[in-house]
Amino acid sequence: MKIAVVGKGGSGKTTTSGVLARTLARQGHSVVALDCDTNPNLGISLGVGDDETERLATMRQTLDEEGIGHAPSWDELIERFGTDGPDGVRLAVVSRIQNPEPG
């Protein structure tokens, strides 16, 4: 199952995403949270902490500036650029997914 949370700034996307991700994880689902926002602060809402949230955002910015395709597959993206948060939610801050694979 894939869930996308979209809406205007300040409408509650980040808060809703954090609660949804952790609630599903607590129910036993395997959850990957992808923060695609230009202001990526889902890590705060998920509870990974300020430093780790900043680290993930900086890493995305650095990779974007270098203009390279930095994750050739879904698994590698999550493995290389993800971090484990509370309740077992795996978080990654990503920019554009150009070639989504099934699943």
Ligand X SMILES: Nc1ncnc2c1ncn2[C@@H]1O[C@H](COP(=O)(O)OP(=O)(O)O)[C@@H](O)[C@H]1O
Give residues in contact with ligand X (CB under 6 A). 7, 9-15
Residue 53 contacts Mg ion per CB under 5 A: no
Residue 45 contacts Mg ion per CB under 5 A: no
Residue 14 contacts Mg ion per CB under 5 A: yes
Other beta carbons within 10 Å of 91: 27
Strand pairing report for 90-93 and 82-84: antiparallel
Nearest residue (CB) to ligand X, 27 versus 39: 39
Burial label, 32 (beta-carbon count in 10 A; 0-12, 13-18, 19+): middle
Q: Which residues bind Mg ion (CB under 5 A)?
A: 13-14
